[in-house]
Amino acid sequence: MPDVYSERFALAHRPGSPLKSYTVPPGKRAIVRSFAYAGYLATAPAIWLGIAGHYIAVALPPAATFGNALELYQVVYANEVITVDCTASAGDVWASVSGYLFDDPPTRQLDIADAARAEPAPVHPALGPSAA
């Protein structure tokens, strides 16, 4: 059975802090379970969680004092990136992304690589081949 570790993937503070990111190491797989944020601002921020180049969640808390956490079940494979960012330019905002990091068995890594290969788009009987 693969080893499992609790992990904080990113811890960000705005303003004055660049985008935070975590790249899942080769031979590992991550499960993002929590996206927590808190802060004090005069204007409402947007706090973003991205996985593998896609925004998965956005927090739009009101201005003033706020704090909350989202419970997630997102799988992130080896070499994919977890990011957190915030639009705040003044005031204080903190965000954290945490979850589990697994040893990924080599046989499973091959299955993922095979599944990632491009396959022909399905043909819908009424619409014909996909334009994508």
Q: Is 106 helix (H, G, I), strand (E, B) or coil?
A: helix
pLDDT digits (tens, 9 = 90+) for 31-79: 999 999 888 876 777 888 999 988 888 888 777 788 889 999 999 999 9
Question: Average pLDDT, stretch 82-99?
Answer: 82
* Rounded Cα distance, 86 and 88, in Å: 6
Tell me which of 2.40.50, 1.10.10, 2.60.40, 2.60.120 is the CATH number of domain 4-114.
2.60.120
Domain residue limits, the chain: 4-114
- Does the pLDDT value for residue 101 go beyond 50? yes
Say what the pLDDT of residue 80 is: 92
> Using an 8 Å Cβ cutoff, are 6 and 97 in contact?
no
pLDDT grade, residue 90 (50/70/90)? low
Say what the pLDDT of residue 124 is: 46
Say what the pLDDT of residue 66 is: 84
* Rounded Cα distance, 33 and 70, in Å: 8
pLDDT grade, residue 111 (50/70/90)? low
Say what the pLDDT of residue 128 is: 44
pLDDT digits (tens, 9 = 90+) for 15-32: 656 568 899 999 999 999
Q: What are phi and psi of 110, to 5 degrees?
A: -65, -40
Say what the pLDDT of residue 132 is: 40
